[in-house]
Structure 1
Amino acid sequence: MNMVVFLLLVLVSAGTCDQVSGTEKVTGLYGETIAIPCNRGAPPPHDLMFIKWKYEKDDGSAGDLLIKQAHTDQHTVQATDDYAKRVNIDDEYNLLISRTSLKDQKTFTCMVVSGTNLMEYPVLVVINKKPSSVTLMDKSDVLQKDKLTTVGTCVVADANPAATITWTKNRKSLVVDGKVVVITPSMKLDPATGLSTTSSTLQYAATKEDVDAVFSCVSTHVLTNQTTDLGPFPIHYPSENVGLEIISKGSIIEGDNVTLKCHGDGNPPPSSFFFYLKGQKTLVENSDNYTLTGISREAAGDYKCSLANNEKMEASQSLNVSYLDLSLSLSGKIVKTVGDSLSVRVDKSASGEPKVSWTKNGKGVNQPEFSKLTYADSGVYLCEASLPGIVQHQSFELVIEGKPVIKSLTEHGVADAKHKVLSCEAEGVPKPRFQWSVNHTDEVISYNDGRATNKITVYPMENLNVSCTVSNKLGEDVMTINVSPVFKEESEEKESQNDLHDQSMLIVGVVVGLLIAAALVGLLYWLYMKNTRQGSFKTRNEAGTSEEIKKLEENNYPV
């Protein structure tokens, strides 16, 4: 039997055996252990004698790895090179290679020797290596509008097979056109490991609309895919328009501070400008504004600014300054005489038409214009002129003076009739002084708007001519009144009452006397008539006619 084995080994060494057509392919992972099946893992023949593994060297010659006898757990390593420490075989005759590298990408052959046949089963080994890293390099901070700018470089290192790199913007693939999109790929092999490092550089000409765009590097490999995002990027572009702004809280008023602000629509915004101030060119750096302090009306006009690095990019603005001057032809304290005329001239100089109003002692009035002044016209006159944001005031005090004139001198009696009140009313400015020609008490003086009133209490015992004299620095006036005594009036009133009583009594006495006299006359007449009729009746009866008797009877005289 040993002789048979020996002869088979000789035949195997001589390469005289049948080889199965077609080569199986097995993929392993870099650095790990790969199991290479023999005859796709099919069971060995029942009359198996041994199995031998060998490989194809770089020069095309065969190299022995190991051999294992049938029905035994032992195997013999035949390799004398690097494989001597990395090869092994399991119970199912799979070849085991540890710590695989790209050098293991070759054909390994399983030779099956039986009592009736000798077969070979070649297996091609492929080793895959997942990229060790995906990194971004040369990443830009900003992109330039309409100018090719490097977005970044994507590097996929130590892979097998080599990874592929593509670029997307907002998850849509970018297509190279040489103008807006330029992609530059490259690949390097590590001479020691044979691993590939792939890189790709993206250049992109941005637009303003790309300010929120997200660019992505997409790494594709048989073992893994990875997406790495870049952005969004600020988009830099030069100013296309320049504006000049005048900053003020409201209308610009003479004396205000005014700030001129120049700005461009570029990104980043420009920070250096030229300001053209009434023919003077001023450079302002690291700022976009210039302040005019205490501006005057002469500063009104057109102003201009431009970019410091491009003076053709400019803007202008008109600056208006509001101002208001107000003066009156009268000021301070104005003294006039009652009856005089008065007019006031208002002089105003303004940037617009101001609103003018007048007040006298705080109450609204028309502009003072008097043909004949009265005491009531005295007061403080205030003129107010206004424009939006501006108010000016001018005032004067008008004093009307005049010689005092007595308007009335009156006498007032009181209920107890023991005294009298005299009232003297006069007009005059300055305030007049009162002087009476009689002693008096309880003097009361009032003065308002040039009208003065002086009241006194007197106790006249007899008829008096009382004079009221009023005076000031301009003159005086006098008026006299006749005042009757209060006690004489009382006596006359009592006498009058007594006379009236006596007269009444006299009339009553006269009436009573007349009535008594009438009664006596009637009585005497009656007696007389009675006596007369008795003494003469007979004679008349005798000598009288019947007509007389009848007449007496009709008059009810006794017959």
Structure 2
Amino acid sequence: MRVTAFSACVLIMSLLEQVSGHTTIVGKYGETVEVPCNKGDIKLEDIIIVKWKYTKADGTTGDLLTKSKAQNASYSQIVEYQGRINLTKNLSLQISQAKIADQKTFTCMVVAGTDIFEYPVQVTIQKAPSPPTITNQAKVLELGKLTTLAECSTKDANPVANIVWLKDNVPLVADGKVVTITPSVQTDKDTSLSTTSSKLEYAATKADMNAKFTCAVQHKSLSSDLVSAPMTFIIHYPSEKVSLQVVSAVPIKEGDNVTLKCAADGNPPPTSYNFHIKEKVTRENSDTYTLIGVTRADSGEYKCSLVDDEAKTASTRFTVMYLDITSVPKGKIAKRLSESFEATLVVNASEIAQVSWTKNNVKLDGKPKFDKLKFSDSGVYECVVSMAGLVKKASFELSVQGAPVITKLTKGRSNVGKLLSCKAEGSPKPTVQWSINGTNASESSFVDGRVTYNLTVIPTGNLTINCTVSNELGYDTKSIDISTLLEETTMDKRELPEDSKDQTQVAVGVVIGLIVAAVAIELPEDSKDQTQVAVGVVIGLIVAAVAIGLAYWIYMKRTREGTWKTGEKENGTLEESKKLEETQSQKADV
């Protein structure tokens, strides 16, 4: 009874120790696992016997090794642990080349004095899974159709690894409609390691065209998930919308080529389209249609449609810009002097056009319009009409014609004789005929209907020379006198000689003086006005005397100097000077 009671007591204490001292450790597959004994609660020198045993699959126990204080450890002949177990100095059990089968409870039983202790340890073996592998990846997904996207698997794991599917890093949750996930686990018979697989079926939308799908492997042995490379998919879906656009540069002008481009939102897009250009035209393997050299008649609406579904259409409009100018005078236009003239211009354009006029390349403020034409109005006129990149030009030459008129005939000095200048206006350009032969004949440029003819003559006496200018419309003649003795003033029918002007002024002064004197003599009638009369007479006489003296002085000055319109003095010969002095003396005596 005493033995039985003692044994029962030891058993109870052992069970209590197992319950209270149960430990779990994790070992790595293929490496050495060390299972501790007694946690250091008992000093090694107090231990008499140590025994390691394990729990079998059927719940029974088996011995691994035993060691007494005075003897070395003795190992049991267990096949699965043959050569794989060892006892350390601190009585820990070492298991090399750990296997999944080593996942069990190992118990260290210690006898110290009269006490028996047991320390059970639960060993767990972990094996990290392999990186995920993608298989059966789809190439194309049909819109809205549940399709196997891919399969993801991981091998040689313990415990079993978990696989999660993600879209754009967001986990997918199976709903049986859009997302279906089918997991599976297989265990290797030899290693007891597991392989986990997961198949993803997915119903794609248009938004998934650029989505990135991944699978992630989760496991207790991993600090972070193992994630596969991202996958993207081509999603096929039919066209729902069609668009048509003009891809040519705008504005579109007459003569341009216009390209229409049709597009649909399907994937893949259609390769052929119908273009409705007055009639239906099918373009195989092309999405464009080009109209060559459009005109204003091509303005309007155009359509395109799908070849396999003509109900799906699109349309666009474009307008062809045009510019016409008419009624502009052309070529050479002849008009008579003093006639009226107005250039006409009619613009027909799709928009408001800008108009500018030039004469001989000089810009004008407006279009040519004249109430009375002058010779200077002749020239080349050009109008430029522009609008939206279109430019039209037109030009004409206006010729104002009229019979020639001599505007001035003058004489002057030259080194060898007298220089005659005959200025004329007329169009066509007049020719000149002198009534005397001369030298150094020349003419100026014919500009604005004006020309000047020059001739040098050597007079042999007093002469009257005629200048005659003519064209097919008429002629004009003027004459001028020249002398070898006295220098004469410029003769011009339109101008009074300056000497005549001075003499006229003097004469007028004398007449005014005499009138003042006469009035002063006649007006007073009583004695009170006698003083006024006397003063008036004196003033009148003084004015008359001054006027006579001024006239004489001017006459003498003109007589001594040969006066030309240019104001230059002429130094004559000694014989001419003497004759001039004699003439002046005779006039003074008179």
Question: What CA distance in whole angstroms lies between the structure 2 residues aligned with 1:133 and 1:488?
Answer: 131
| Equivalent residue number for residue 514 of structure 1 | none
| Equivalent residue number for residue 453 of structure 1 | 452
Question: What CA distance in whole angstroms lies between the structure 2 residues aligned with 1:338 and 1:173?
Answer: 98
Q: How does 1:429-508 map to 2 (within 5 A)?
A: 429-446=427-444, 447-472=446-471, 474=472, 476-479=474-477, 481=479, 483=481, 485-487=483-485, 493-500=580-587, 503=589
Q: How does 1:86-485 map to 2 (within 5 A)?
A: 86-110=84-108, 123-138=121-136, 152-168=150-166, 173-204=171-202, 217-227=215-225, 228=227, 231=230, 233=232, 236=235, 241-264=241-264, 273-283=273-283, 285=285, 288-306=287-305, 311-328=310-327, 330-338=329-337, 344-365=343-364, 366-368=366-368, 373-402=373-402, 404-408=403-407, 410-412=409-411, 420-446=418-444, 447-472=446-471, 474=472, 476-479=474-477, 481=479, 483=481, 485=483
Q: Name the CA shift for 1:487/1:163 in 2 (closer, same or farther; >3 Å).
A: same
| TM-superposed deviation, 1:318 | 0.7
Query: Amino acid of the residue matched to residue 321 of structure 2?
Result: S
Kept in 2: contact 1:47–1:116 (CA 8 A): no
| TM-superposed deviation, 1:470 | 2.2
Kept in 2: contact 1:148–1:203 (CA 8 A): yes
Q: Name the CA shift for 1:57/1:361 in 2 (closer, same or farther; >3 Å).
A: same
Query: Amino acid of the residue matched to residue 254 of structure 1?
Result: E
| TM-superposed deviation, 1:234 | 7.0
Query: Amino acid of the residue matched to residue 405 of structure 1?
Result: P
| TM-superposed deviation, 1:388 | 1.4
Question: What CA distance in whole angstroms lies between the structure 2 residues aligned with 1:420 and 1:92?
Answer: 151
Q: Name the CA shift for 1:482/1:387 in 2 (closer, same or farther; >3 Å).
A: closer
| Equivalent residue number for residue 80 of structure 2 | 82
Cα offsets for 1:58-98 (capped at 9, x unmatched):
556654433333322x2333315232322333344433332
Question: What CA distance in whole angstroms lies between the structure 2 residues aligned with 1:494 and 1:113?
Answer: 179
| Equivalent residue number for residue 538 of structure 1 | none
Percent pairwise identity: 43
| TM-superposed deviation, 1:110 | 4.7
Gaps of 5+ in 2: 1-9, 488-575
| Equivalent residue number for residue 527 of structure 1 | none
Question: What CA distance in whole angstroms lies between the structure 2 residues aligned with 1:485 and 1:133?
Answer: 130
User: Greater CA deviation, 23-32 or 207-216?
Assistant: 207-216
SS of equivalent to 2:485: helix
SS of equivalent to 2:467: strand
SS of equivalent to 2:386: strand
Q: Name the CA shift for 1:495/1:200 in 2 (closer, same or farther; >3 Å).
A: same
Question: What CA distance in whole angstroms lies between the structure 2 residues aligned with 1:482 and 1:114?
Answer: 168
| TM-superposed deviation, 1:393 | 0.9
| TM-superposed deviation, 1:354 | 2.8
Query: Amino acid of the residue matched to residue 379 of structure 1?
Result: G
Cα offsets for 1:283-315 (capped at 9, x unmatched):
253x65444443333332222234566554432
Q: Name the CA shift for 1:500/1:415 in 2 (closer, same or farther; >3 Å).
A: farther
Query: Amino acid of the residue matched to residue 277 of structure 2?
Result: L
| TM-superposed deviation, 1:167 | 4.2
Question: What CA distance in whole angstroms lies between the structure 2 residues aligned with 1:338 and 1:277?
Answer: 58
Query: Amino acid of the residue matched to residue 255 of structure 1?
Result: G
| TM-superposed deviation, 1:486 | 3.1
Query: Amino acid of the residue matched to residue 87 of structure 1?
Result: I
Query: Amino acid of the residue matched to residue 261 of structure 1?
Result: K
Coordinate RMSD, CA, aligned: 4.2
Kept in 2: contact 1:333–1:397 (CA 8 A): yes
Question: What CA distance in whole angstroms lies between the structure 2 residues aligned with 1:164 and 1:243?
Answer: 48
Question: What CA distance in whole angstroms lies between the structure 2 residues aligned with 1:133 and 1:415?
Answer: 118
Query: Amino acid of the residue matched to residue 252 of structure 1?
Result: I
Question: What CA distance in whole angstroms lies between the structure 2 residues aligned with 1:482 and 1:41?
Answer: 155
SS of equivalent to 1:191: coil
Kept in 1: contact 2:244–2:260 (CA 8 A): yes
| Equivalent residue number for residue 64 of structure 2 | 65
Question: What CA distance in whole angstroms lies between the structure 2 residues aligned with 1:466 and 1:122?
Answer: 157
SS of equivalent to 2:124: strand
SS of equivalent to 1:187: strand
Structure number with the higher strand fraction is: 1
SS of equivalent to 2:82: helix
Q: Name the CA shift for 1:52/1:326 in 2 (closer, same or farther; >3 Å).
A: same
| TM-superposed deviation, 1:495 | 3.6
Query: Amino acid of the residue matched to residue 334 of structure 1?
Result: I
Question: What CA distance in whole angstroms lies between the structure 2 residues aligned with 1:44 and 1:163?
Answer: 42
Question: What CA distance in whole angstroms lies between the structure 2 residues aligned with 1:281 and 1:224?
Answer: 65
Question: What CA distance in whole angstroms lies between the structure 2 residues aligned with 1:47 and 1:333?
Answer: 141
Query: Amino acid of the residue matched to residue 477 of structure 2?
Result: M
Question: What CA distance in whole angstroms lies between the structure 2 residues aligned with 1:218 and 1:377?
Answer: 94
Q: How many residues align?
A: 483
Kept in 2: contact 1:142–1:233 (CA 8 A): no
| Equivalent residue number for residue 544 of structure 1 | none
Question: What CA distance in whole angstroms lies between the structure 1 residues aligned with 2:379 and 2:25?
Answer: 116
SS of equivalent to 1:386: strand
Q: Name the CA shift for 1:475/1:83 in 2 (closer, same or farther; >3 Å).
A: closer
Kept in 2: contact 1:25–1:126 (CA 8 A): no
Q: How does 1:519-538 map to 2 (within 5 A)?
A: none
| TM-superposed deviation, 1:217 | 3.9
Cα offsets for 1:97-132 (capped at 9, x unmatched):
322212223444555568867776655443222224
Kept in 1: contact 2:141–2:233 (CA 8 A): yes
Question: What CA distance in whole angstroms lies between the structure 2 residues aligned with 1:488 and 1:127?
Answer: 149
Q: Name the CA shift for 1:413/1:115 in 2 (closer, same or farther; >3 Å).
A: closer
Q: How does 1:11-50 map to 2 (within 5 A)?
A: 18=11, 20-21=14-15, 22=18, 24-29=22-27, 30-38=29-37, 43=42, 50=49
Q: Name the CA shift for 1:310/1:31 in 2 (closer, same or farther; >3 Å).
A: farther
Question: What CA distance in whole angstroms lies between the structure 2 residues aligned with 1:48 and 1:407?
Answer: 157
Question: What CA distance in whole angstroms lies between the structure 2 residues aligned with 1:395 and 1:381?
Answer: 5
Query: Amino acid of the residue matched to residue 190 of structure 1?
Result: D
Q: Name the CA shift for 1:498/1:32 in 2 (closer, same or farther; >3 Å).
A: closer
Query: Amino acid of the residue matched to residue 196 of structure 2?
Result: T
Q: Name the CA shift for 1:371/1:40 in 2 (closer, same or farther; >3 Å).
A: closer
Cα offsets for 1:297-352 (capped at 9, x unmatched):
33322222345665544322112112223344532233444456655544544333
SS of equivalent to 2:433: strand
Kept in 1: contact 2:462–2:484 (CA 8 A): no
| TM-superposed deviation, 1:392 | 0.9
